[in-house]
């Protein structure tokens, strides 16, 4: 008899865990409360336009441990096309000045020096930090399973990076920019506007641009939905089972050992191992009723800052709009959309680089802005509908600021609020990437095992501040490595 692994949640973490469990000979079932797999990694179609909710960059598109995972899980295969943008983003300030972030650090350095030759020392120092950060080479096995050889082969190559981490590992972006002390007003305005006064780790910013420089954070043509479907197909192809519209209510525990799950329809499912790849808070405090919590975990869920949820306004435009940059950020903080003051500005993504997103001759544009959960949590019924109507009106005005005259070409408008995200994925307070990577949390993670609870593992974005697809998928792989170790069997990867 094969041992049974039950996985709660069919997002990227759950799908990854499922694939590796099936590869290792377990009878594997994913229970997903929604009617499709993918979780946050999703998209939807409206009148032949596709509105993507997630993917614009995927770390690991060209190499390293994440790349292995993407190949092993069918995210990347011989048919997938990776697009590396030359321009990372374009920033427009209140006065209409534009500022570009290039993906290639050498090119960006020249651009910055052209704008502010007086800041040569600071610009070169920042760009060198980014070049060094490209040396980051993630481990392929779970921390508990790493051999000394793995450390010996990886760590020496990363020494220059450790120096950057030692210097800036505990700084916020703002503190980092303070240290760089740019003299140019244009640079100061662009850099400080990006993360504002929030506690966002400087290392997260440095790493992001390092990965782009390496061309190891591309976009996969087709976006989020086919990405998740390729993983689901790999899983079922290996004999795994996904059951949709199955919401887990409780994790069944006997003698401090996970024995299965109980669904909201009252049925129970027995298992030898349970992995939760669902929302971290709901798993620990609701499905397990807070009975297996360490001080560290409790501290994290009570104190670590969460990502501010997003409102996404998607537009189907009945003409072609060429894009110089895939993302345009308007950093005018005085604007309001509906009830939300845009303290972080708003961004507009132009998907014209991906022909699958709109019919020929048309364009999909996606606007996003942050909107605190406190504004949404009690908004219901008529008030919620009225807010969506106001958003539609205000968002069109904001779009006009970037594309004057666009209103007459808008064919479809679709609004997804933080409540939409919570409804379809169960993510806590709409925090779409879990914990914010702050100066204190960026280098931390949450353990995959809960204290005293046997045969149970956590996977997914809540284990790693910053979240994202790569650590989510990696944690799914690690969960199966740990189960194989517990089962005294060799972990294998099969085609
Ligand atoms: C707008 C946006 C843009 C993003 N851009 C990027 C990007 O460019 N690159 C990147 O790497 N990351 C990006 N991310 C982040 C990335 O999408 C997430 O970090 C990642 O998808 C999280 O995967 P997960 O499997 O851990 O969790 P989730 O995707 O939240 O999956 C959890 C799954 O569990 C299911 N579930 C929850 N509760 C239950 C229950 N009780 N019973 C059964 N099922 C349950 C949910 O329905 C869901 O399918 C973005 C996210 C958003 C929203």
C-alpha 362/C-alpha 221 separation (Å) is 17
Of 30-44, 53-67, 156-170, 210-224, which range is least confident?
A: 156-170
Residue nearest to atom 16 of ligand 1 (CA): 468
Mean pLDDT within 394-403: 96
Dist. CA 439–CA 172, nearest whole Å: 5
Own/partner pairs, 401-407, CB within 8 angstroms, 24+ separation: 401/330, 401/332, 402/92, 402/328, 402/330, 402/348, 403/321, 403/365, 406/315, 406/317, 406/321
User: How far apart, in whole angstroms, are the C-alpha atoms of residue 12 and residue 468?
Assistant: 10
Which residues neighbour 323 within 8 Å (Cβ) at sequence distance 6 or greater?
350, 352, 353
Mean of the pLDDT values across residues 164-181? 92
Closest Cα to atom 5 of ligand 1: 54
Closest residue by Cα to atom 12, ligand 1, is 468
Task: Return the pLDDT at 156.
Answer: 85
How many whole angstroms separate alpha carbon 58 and alpha carbon 470?
A: 7
Q: Atom of ligand 1 at shortest distance to CA of 434? A: 19
Mutation to probe ligand 1, out of 41, 73, 271, 424 (largest number of atoms < 8 A from CB): 41
Q: Which residue ranges have their beta carbon within 6 Å of ligand 1?
A: 8-14, 31-34, 39-41, 53-58, 247-248, 277-279, 282, 310, 425-427, 432-433, 460-461, 467-470, 472
Ligand 1: nearest atom to the Cα of 16 = 25
Cα(429) to ligand 1 centroid in Å equals: 13
Instruction: Tell me the C-alpha distance between 56 and 83, whole Å.
Output: 10
Task: Give the model confidence (pLDDT) of 253-312 as tens digits.
Answer: 999 999 999 999 999 999 999 999 999 999 999 999 999 999 999 999 999 999 999 999
393: which 2 tokens? 């009106």
Distance 227 CA to ligand 1 centre (A): 13
Q: Output the pLDDT for position 135.
A: 84
Q: From ligand 1's centre to the CA of 468, what distance in Å? A: 8
Strand 456-458 with 273-276, pairing: parallel
- Nearest-angstrom CA–CA distance, 293 and 458: 12
**Is the CB of residue 257 less than 8 Å from the CB of residue 454?**
yes
- pLDDT tens digits along 462-493: 999 999 999 999 999 999 999 999 999 999 99
Residue with CA at minimum distance from ligand 1 atom 22:
461
Q: What is the pLDDT of residue 94?
A: 81
Ligand 1 centre from 86 Cα, in Å? 27
CB neighbour class for 35 (10 Å; exposed up to 12, middle 13-18, buried from 19): exposed
The number of the ligand 1 atom at minimal distance from the alpha carbon of 246 is 43
Mean pLDDT is lowest, of 91-105, 371-385, 389-403, for 91-105
In 10-116, alpha helices (H): 12-23, 64-72, 105-115
> Of all residues in the chain, what percent carry a pLDDT higher than 70?
100
- Give the CA angle between residues 449, 154, 147 to the nearest 5°: 50
Ligand 1 atom with the smallest distance to the CA of 421 is 53
> Of 30, 39, 370, which is best to mutate to test ligand 1, by the most ligand atoms within 8 angstroms of its C-beta?
39
Average pLDDT, the chain: 95
- Index of the ligand 1 atom closest to the CA of residue 40: 29
In a 3-state reduction of DSSP, which class is residue 443? coil
**179, burial (CB in 10 Å: exposed 0-12, middle 13-18, buried 19+):** middle
Q: Is 75 exposed, middle or buried (0-12, 13-18, 19+ CB in 10 A)?
A: buried
Q: What is residue 398's predicted lDDT score, i.e. its pLDDT?
A: 97
Tokens of 212: 């782009």
Beta-bridged to residue 5, according to DSSP, are 28, 273
- How high is the pLDDT of residue 194? 79
Write the DSSP symbol of residue 308: P
Q: Which helix (H) or strand (E) holds 414?
A: strand 410-416
- Answer yes or no: is pLDDT of 176 > 80: yes
Atom of ligand 1 nearest to the CA of 310: 1
- Residue with CA at minimum distance from ligand 1 atom 34: 9
User: Is residue 96 over pLDDT 90?
Assistant: no
Residue 438 in 3-state DSSP? coil
Residue with the larger pLDDT of the pair 68 and 323? 68
**Which of 278, 351, 370, 476 best tests ligand 1's pocket when mutated (most atoms within 8 Å of CB)?**
278
The token duo for 81 is: 């096309």
> What does the pLDDT read at residue 478?
98
pLDDT band at 357 (very low <50, low <70, confident <90, very high): very high
Predicted local distance difference test score (pLDDT) of residue 429:
98
Alpha-carbon span 17 to 38, nearest angstrom:
13
What 8-state DSSP symbol labels residue 287? I
Closest CA to 135 of 111, 162, 112, 116: 162
Decide if pLDDT at 364 tops 90.
yes
Contacts of 83 (CB under 8 A, 6+ apart): 218, 219, 220, 221, 353, 354
Task: Give the number of the atom of ligand 1 that is nearest the alpha carbon of residue 432.
Answer: 53
Residue among 14, 40, 218, 219 whose CB has most ligand 1 atoms within 8 A, to mutate: 40
**Ligand 1 atom closest to 475 (CA):** 26
Question: What single DSSP character describes residue 285?
Answer: I
Residue 334: Cβ within 10 Å count:
9
For the CA of 37, the nearest atom of ligand 1? 49
pLDDT value of position 295: 95
H-helix or E-strand containing 204? helix 202-213
Please provide the DSSP assignment of 305-321 as one string. PBPPPEEEEEEEESS--
Indicate the helix (H) or strand (E) that contains 167.
helix 159-168
> Does residue 24 carry a pLDDT above 90?
yes
* Ligand 1 center–CA 372 separation, angstroms: 19
Choose the residue to mutate in 433, 448, 463, 475 for probing ligand 1, maximizing ligand atoms within 8 Å of C-beta: 433
Ligand 1 atom closest to Cα of 53?
A: 1
3-state helix, strand, coil in the chain (%, to 5): 40, 20, 40
Nearest by Cα to 13 from 480, 475, 494: 475
Euclidean distance between CA atoms 339 and 390, whole angstroms: 8
Of 414, 451, 453, 57, nearest to 274 by C-alpha is: 453
Q: Which residue's C-alpha comes closest to atom 41 of ligand 1? A: 248
Average of pLDDT values for 83-107?
93
- What is the distance in A from the centroid of ligand 1 to the CA of 432? 7
Q: From the CA of 8, how far away is ligand 1's center (Å)?
A: 13
Q: Is 318 within 8 Å of 409 (Cβ atoms)?
A: yes
1: pLDDT strictly greater than 90: no
pLDDT score recorded for residue 104: 97
C-alpha 12 – ligand 1 centre gap (Å): 7
Ligand 1 atom 37: the closest Cα is on which residue? 278
| Dist CA 418 CA 221 (whole Å) | 26
Give the pLDDT score at 267: 97
Mean pLDDT of 14-23: 98
């Amino acid at each position: 008899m094969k041992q049974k692994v039950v996985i709660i949640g069919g997002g990227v973490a759950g799908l990854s865990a499922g694939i590796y469990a099936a590869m290792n000979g377990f009878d594997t079932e994913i229970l997903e409360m929604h009617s499709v797999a993918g979780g946050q990694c999703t998209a939807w179609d409206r009148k032949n336009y596709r509105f993507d909710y997630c993917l614009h960059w995927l770390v690991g598109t060209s190499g390293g441990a994440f790349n292995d995972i993407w190949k092993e899980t069918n995210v990347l295969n011989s048919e997938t096309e990776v697009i590396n943008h030359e321009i990372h983003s374009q920033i427009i300030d209140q006065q209409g000045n534009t500022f570009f972030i290039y993906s290639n650090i050498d090119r960006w350095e020249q651009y910055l020096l052209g704008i502010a030759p007086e800041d040569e020392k600071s610009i070169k120092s920042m760009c060198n930090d980014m070049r060094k950060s490209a040396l980051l080479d993630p481990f392929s096995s779970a921390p508990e399973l790493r051999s000394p050889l793995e450390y010996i082969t990886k760590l020496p190559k990363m020494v220059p990076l450790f120096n950057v981490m030692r210097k800036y590992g505990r700084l916020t972006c703002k503190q980092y920019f303070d240290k760089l002390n740019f003299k140019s007003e244009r640079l100061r305005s662009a850099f400080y506007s990006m993360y504002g006064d929030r506690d966002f780790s400087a290392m997260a910013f440095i790493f992001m641009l390092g990965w782009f420089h390496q061309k190891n954070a591309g976009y996969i043509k087709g976006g989020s939905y086919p990405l998740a479907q390729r993983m689901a197909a790999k899983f079922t192809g290996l004999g795994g089972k996904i059951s949709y519209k199955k919401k887990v209510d409780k994790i069944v525990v006997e003698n401090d050992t996970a024995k299965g799950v109980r669904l909201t329809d009252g049925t129970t499912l027995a298992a030898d191992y349970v992995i939760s790849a669902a929302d971290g808070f709901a798993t620990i405090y609701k499905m397990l009723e807070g009975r297996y919590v360490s001080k560290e975990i409790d501290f994290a869920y009570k104190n670590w800052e969460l990502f501010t949820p997003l409102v996404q306004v998607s537009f189907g435009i009945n003409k072609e709009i060429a894009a110089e940059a895939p993302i345009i950020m308007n950093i005018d903080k005085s604007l309001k959309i509906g009830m939300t003051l845009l303290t972080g500005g708003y961004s507009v993504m132009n998907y014209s680089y991906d022909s699958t997103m709109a019919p020929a001759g048309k364009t999909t544009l996606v606007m996003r802005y942050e909107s605190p959960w406190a504004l949404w949590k009690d908004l219901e019924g008529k008030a919620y509908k009225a807010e969506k109507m106001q958003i539609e009106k205000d968002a069109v005005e904001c779009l006009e600021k970037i594309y004057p005259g666009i209103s007459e070409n808008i064919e479809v408008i679709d609004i997804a609020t933080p409540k939409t995200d919570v409804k379809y994925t169960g993510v806590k307070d709409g925090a779409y990437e879990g914990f914010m990577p702050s100066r204190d949390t960026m280098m931390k993670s949450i353990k995959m095992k809960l204290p005293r609870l046997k045969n149970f593992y956590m996977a997914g974005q809540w284990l790693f501040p910053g979240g994202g697809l790569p650590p989510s998928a990696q944690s799914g792989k690690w969960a199966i490595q740990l189960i194989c170790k517990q089962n005294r069997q060799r972990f294998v990867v099969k085609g």
